[in-house]
A = this chain, B = another copy of it.
Amino acid sequence: MSITGRDDGSPGPDRISYAMVGGGQGAFIGAVHRLAARLDDEFALVAGALSSEPERAVASARALGIAPDRSYASWQELIERESARPDKVEAIAIVTPNHVHYAPAKAALEAGFHVICDKPMTTTLEEARSLAETVKRTGRLFILTHNYTAYPMIRHARAMVAAGELGRLRVVQVEYAQGWLATPLEGTGHKQADWRTDPKRSGAGGSVGDIGTHAFNLASFVSGLNATSLCADLSIFVEGRRLDDNANVLLRFEGGATGMLWASQVAIGNENRLVLRLYGEKGGLSWSQEQPNDLHWSPLGEATRLITRGTAHANAAAARLTRIPSGHPEGYLEGFANLYGEAARAIRAARTGSAPDAEVLYPTVEDGVRGVAFIEAAVASSAKGGVWVPL
């Protein structure tokens, strides 16, 4: 096999200590964050407010090897008591349902911690803007885990666009299709379905917030373009559901490109079908999250190329996030871990008061603001019958 991958880059004893808010036993995304943080051995989880239920919090902390005195009953306590420790954590990962992102993130930033926060960033645009202000003022790092941005072939695509290889972009097609909410699962005690369909915990967006924001973010990340307006048609197909489970959206981008975004959680047969296609004057690109090691590149007038991760044809932007040889698939966890890797590099740079290298990229608080603006605009557009709303 072709040994093009980096070594595992183990940092030895010099790990970045972090705490986690949320992510106790039975949670999903918290476990993913921990796996991602662990893969490259850059982080050490040493504290947590893992659950609002005290018993679950204690049991989860024990299972994770967190010392009992650093397992806290609430995020407030975590921030207060960690702040007082000489060996306080450097960063706090917030992996709670959406309605519990804003307050702990803001408090953590104010207390001087770097923040790694799940998406969507907040449940209102007002909160999102407030958080952006806080980040600016405190100078702390804020990494929003739009994890798909850290797949190597997404980086490859982004670098191609940035280098002008596609020419001026014309069309952006993005979709994120799932089928798991095709039935009223939220009535069955399914914890994930419960909170993701609950406006109190998720905010105003259902599918458009949960997965539409990923699609929206990815389109901008790779295209380098911000959307300027949208027209959305949101639906609730499952009876009794309180938030949209399908979102059909038209987009217009700065510079004249147009696009479509489809997010659905009732598209039976789809698992996590996040597909991005970009078309410019000089070529087209296509990528699918379910086969993330492949990127299809169609230069104008030539045969389509299958560019694969870990090969000589993958560019430097892809290569720096590649661990193992081509043909040995890297997946979702590796992509998520890449984002933690970017966070690690940024945090290490911040220790010395410097900015990370230019190639270090992660979704920022500004991307978070744009994501929440997208949700609010989509909901507003649809509520008015599907009119164009500026972003």
CA distance A64 to B300 in the complex (A): 36
* Chain A 223-267 interface residues, beta-carbon cutoff 8 Å to B: 231, 233, 235, 237, 246, 248, 250, 252, 256, 258-260, 262, 264, 266-267
A348 near B: Cβ within 8 Å? no
Size of the A side of the interface (Cβ < 8 Å), in residues, is 104
A310 to chain B, nearest CB (A): 8
A188 near B: Cβ within 8 Å? no
CA distance A321 to B2 in the complex (A): 27
Complex interface bits, A262-289 against B, C-beta within 8 A gives 1, otherwise 0 = 1010111111110001011111101001
Complex interface bits, A302-324 against B, C-beta within 8 A gives 1, otherwise 0 = 11111110111100000000011
A12 near B: Cβ within 8 Å? yes
Once A258-B235, A267-B279 are accepted as A-B contacts, the answer to whether A192 and B304 lie under 8 Å apart by CB is no
Contacts of A304 in B (CB 8 A): 269, 305-306
- Asked whether, in the complex, the Cβ of B290 is within 8 Å of the Cβ of A327, the reply is yes
- Asked whether, in the complex, the Cβ of A8 is within 8 Å of the Cβ of B28, the reply is no
- Asked whether, in the complex, the Cβ of A12 is within 8 Å of the Cβ of B64, the reply is yes
- Asked whether, in the complex, the Cβ of A262 is within 8 Å of the Cβ of B173, the reply is yes
User: Please, which residue of chain B has its CB at the minimum distance from the CB of A305?
Assistant: B303
- Asked whether, in the complex, the Cβ of B62 is within 8 Å of the Cβ of A12, the reply is yes
Interface of A is mostly: loop
- Asked whether, in the complex, the Cβ of B28 is within 8 Å of the Cβ of A35, the reply is no
CA distance A311 to B302 in the complex (A): 9
Once A63-B10, A298-B268 are accepted as A-B contacts, the answer to whether A250 and B248 lie under 8 Å apart by CB is yes
Contacts of A277 in B (CB 8 A): 267
Once A279-B266, A308-B303 are accepted as A-B contacts, the answer to whether A327 and B271 lie under 8 Å apart by CB is yes
Contacts of A357 in B (CB 8 A): none
Most chain-B Cβ atoms within 10 A of its Cβ — which of A233, A303, A307, A334? A303
A178 near B: Cβ within 8 Å? yes
- Asked whether, in the complex, the Cβ of A386 is within 8 Å of the Cβ of B264, the reply is no
Once A1-B28, A262-B260 are accepted as A-B contacts, the answer to whether A328 and B332 lie under 8 Å apart by CB is yes
- Asked whether, in the complex, the Cβ of B333 is within 8 Å of the Cβ of A324, the reply is yes
User: Please, which residue of chain B has its CB at the minimum distance from the CB of A211?
Assistant: B1
User: Please, which residue of chain B has its CB at the minimum distance from the CB of A280?
Assistant: B268
A140 near B: Cβ within 8 Å? no
* Chain A 357-381 interface residues, beta-carbon cutoff 8 Å to B: none
Complex interface bits, A1-32 against B, C-beta within 8 A gives 1, otherwise 0 = 11101011011110000000000011110011
A292 near B: Cβ within 8 Å? yes
Supply 30 A–B pairs (Cβ within 8 Å), ascending by A.
Answer: A5-B28, A7-B31, A12-B63, A31-B323, A39-B39, A170-B246, A170-B266, A171-B264, A173-B262, A179-B284, A183-B300, A248-B259, A267-B277, A268-B280, A269-B283, A269-B296, A269-B298, A269-B304, A270-B327, A271-B308, A271-B327, A272-B326, A289-B327, A290-B293, A303-B306, A305-B306, A329-B329, A331-B331, A386-B388, A387-B387
